[in-house]
Chains A and B, each alone.
Chain A
Amino acid sequence: MPLIENGKPIEDKFVRVSDDEALPEGAAVLIGIDRFLKEAEALKGRQAPVGVIWPNNRPIAEIAPYLGQLSLIALVFPIFRDGRAYSQARLLRERLGWRGPLRATGNVLRDQFLLMERSGFDQIDAVKEADAEAFDEAVHRYTVFYQPATDERPSLLRQRLGRTVSGVR
């Protein structure tokens, strides 16, 4: 599936490895939560990067002790209508201070790209090739944002105010 990072198509350097497969030597791997939690201690000694797929029904605060050993966090949209990972993403960025790559995976569609970007995702694993190609258009459809979120876009409450009070973003 086409992977986009900060608006540009990129090659996926992470290999997805299922729980019963051996981890390929020296390769960046993306693994499931069960395996990660079971092997977390051992994985600390691994030289190559490790990423985890964090499910949307597990409190994201539980990831805090492991952030230092992770190189990628993938959150999951089992179906695009299930919006739990938006909250997880914002909490990761705004509460837990995660600065590394944050990937949207699962049923990731064009009409949700903007919401994902605003919630702090910088990697989008698009389901459809055509959607990935339209990424730029999809995230620039709006110029007006009513509320502050994780992204740097100025929100309207403050934009409006900007006309009367200087120095407020």
Chain B
Amino acid sequence: MYVYDEFDRAFLAERVAEFRDQVGRRLSGALSEDEFKPLRLMNGVYLQLHAYMLRVAIPYGTLNSDQLRRMAHVARRYDRGYGHFTTRQNIQFNWIKLEELPEAMAALAEVGVHGIQTSGNCIRNVTTDQWAGATPEECDDPRIWAEILRQYSTLHPEFTYLPRKFKIAITAAGHDRAAIKVHDVGLRLHRNDQGELGFEVLVGGGLGRTPFVGKHIRPFLPVRDILSYIEAIMRVYNQYGRRDNIYKARIKILVHEIGAEEFSKAVETEFAATRDGALRLTDEMIEEIRARFLYPDFEPLADQPAELVEALADQRFAAWHRNSVHKHKVPGYSIVTISLKPIGAPPGDATADQMDLVADLAEAYGFREIRVGHEQNLCLPNVAQKDLPELWRRLEAAGLATPNVNHISDIIACPGLDYCALANARAIPVAQEIAKRFADLDRSRGIGRLHINISGCINACGHHHVGHIGILGVEKNGQEFYQITLGGRADEQAQLGTLLGPAVSYEQVPSLIEDVVDTYMELRAGPHELFIDTVTRLGVEPFKERVYAAH
């Protein structure tokens, strides 16, 4: 848990005061809507289909129980009693009144939470692995580096009016849970042969209407150089990124047009001029940030305590444990994922009561810490194994123990036409209908890991290109249609899905997905071959034949 100090608190208060002043000038007419728009966006305020939306950052996905409780309060007091967790470690409140916005923001600021740079053409919330600091897979806590980048990019004078938004993600584990290959900049923290920490740097990944997997431009960048290297990337992009067409303004287009090699050369030239300057990190600077991350006071415990072993006799607990509990780096502790995908509910939504409950549970069993992952689920990263049975009972009672994490009903979906002004088609009801078809937990467990991603338009907020099954809503003659892709993935082997065939109607989607899954069950080499591996082995053809013959 990163603890804000007096500097961070002073900055936040100054930012809230500035936004109040800007809202006041907008209301008085001193600022036109055109002039005001980028200012409100950079504070997380969107104008949506029905109302203003406030997007709040959860830096590197880490929250404490006070912060989550305050979000519950905002949901209850200023929204309709719930919030929506997004794919980029943010939470959105969809129904806030403009006149109440500064008040809601001030309430959040009291606990160090804000919407700064969650929108606008600036460096956005830096995201990372929701298991950071807890998983034995990592070589260092990636949040240290996300925090250094958060500070560096906050109200950066040079990079606040970029050609387009800019998203950075970091992983420090071999298994990438942060989808770094589909970010503007992806950073993989690892150690070289000498044991020194550094980043592999990828640039120009991204989804949207022109999807790309990021390109490698540096195999190993010593950690002390991270800020000057990022500044070099930003400076090249700020000057040469396209501004003539909003759809070609992301860095991925620049990298694609001039080529990764040419881009990398420009970055290296800039980097050579600044690497020994003010941005070079000393060990003391890094330690200063590191020291503000407080870790739980873990007790010396053993794995598999009697309480856990006894509870595993209960089939339902065992099913949840197998699905939602993962290995911790400290013996006797576990990482627990809380599925926000109960069958039939909108993916990623949490009610104020659920948020309060999770905050209570984090206090009782998890050292007050909560995480949010890009799969739109929550996580308690530090739970003693002896407390798992009790935690499960309380989650179960609140409908938060659906053992479907990483299963077919653990669907990532954007808000879609129900909320979003950009969407062409609904996304949430499609997700709900598919989840209902696969509600049988034995069936879903039998299918195994399968990620479905749904976007309501080509802007791809539901990351459909990297879903094992991707579903994209399009509009045809005023009707909602859906294109299906297979074989996408967002992990360390990231790739874009392949189109299965012609788009199908809203009504046809759920049975088509069932046909795809049935085909997989027939064709897989065995129960251990995951859906994605079967698609990789066979291609989409056998699926296409089966599915379109049936429809």
Contacts and interface: CB of A to CB of B under 8 A. Distances in A.
Interface of A: 59, 80-84, 86-88, 90-91, 95, 109, 111-112, 114-116, 118-119, 130, 141-149, 155-161, 164-165
Contacts of B159: 83, 86
Given A82-B243, A144-B7, A111 B22 contact: yes
11 contacts: A83-B121, A84-B238, A87-B238, A141-B14, A144-B7, A145-B155, A149-B158, A156-B151, A157-B281, A160-B285, A160-B288
B285 A109 contact: no
Contact of B284 (A90, A141, A164): A164
A169 B339 CA distance: 47
Given A83-B160, A87-B158, A165-B284, 17 more contacts: A82-B243, A83-B161, A83-B238, A87-B235, A111-B22, A119-B158, A141-B14, A141-B18, A142-B11, A142-B155, A144-B7, A146-B151, A147-B152, A147-B153, A149-B158, A157-B151, A158-B278
Contact of B38 (A81, A142, A147): A81
B257 interface: no
B285 A161 contact: yes
B152, B157, B279 interface centre (most CB from chain A within 10 Å):
B157
A118 B156 CA distance: 9
A52 B46 CA distance: 39
A147 B156 contact: yes
A145 B160 CA distance: 14
A-B pairs with lowest CB-CB distance, top 5? A83-B161, A118-B157, A144-B11, A148-B278, A115-B157
Interface string B19-45: 000100000001000010011000000
A111 B154 CA distance: 15
Contacts of B284: 161, 164-165
A155 B277 CA distance: 13
A115 B160 contact: yes
A146 B11 contact: yes
B239 A119 contact: no
A164 B14 CA distance: 25
Contact of A88 (B11, B35, B239): B239
Interface in B159-198: 159-162
Contacts of A148: 278-279
Contact of A95 (B14, B156, B273): B273
**Main SS of the interface on chain B?**
helix
B5 interface: yes
B10 interface: yes
Given A81-B161, A86-B161, A149-B157, A144 B10 contact: yes
B272 to A, nearest CB: 11
A91, A146, A149, A165 interface centre (most CB from chain B within 10 Å):
A146
B536 to A, nearest CB: 42
A90 to B, nearest CB: 6
**In which size bucket is the chain B interface?**
35 or more
A139 B227 CA distance: 25
Interface string B432-463: 00000000000000000000000000000000
Contacts of B18: 141-142
Contacts of B153: 146-147
A147 B10 contact: no
B17 interface: yes
A121 B281 CA distance: 27
Interface string B273-287: 100001101101100
A143 B14 contact: yes
A87 B156 CA distance: 11
A159 B278 contact: no
Nearest to A109: B35
A9 B322 CA distance: 69
Contact of A86 (B11, B14, B154, B158): B158
A119 B154 contact: no
A109 B121 CA distance: 17
A142 B156 CA distance: 13
Interface string B225-248: 001000000010011000100000
Interface string B260-296: 0000000000000100001101101100100000000
B247 to A, nearest CB: 16
Nearest to B278: A148
Nearest to B17: A141
Given A81-B161, A83-B158, A87-B235, A143 B288 contact: no
Contacts of A158: 278, 285
Contacts of B17: 141
A147 B285 CA distance: 13
B244 to A, nearest CB: 10
A130 B121 CA distance: 26
A155 B278 contact: yes
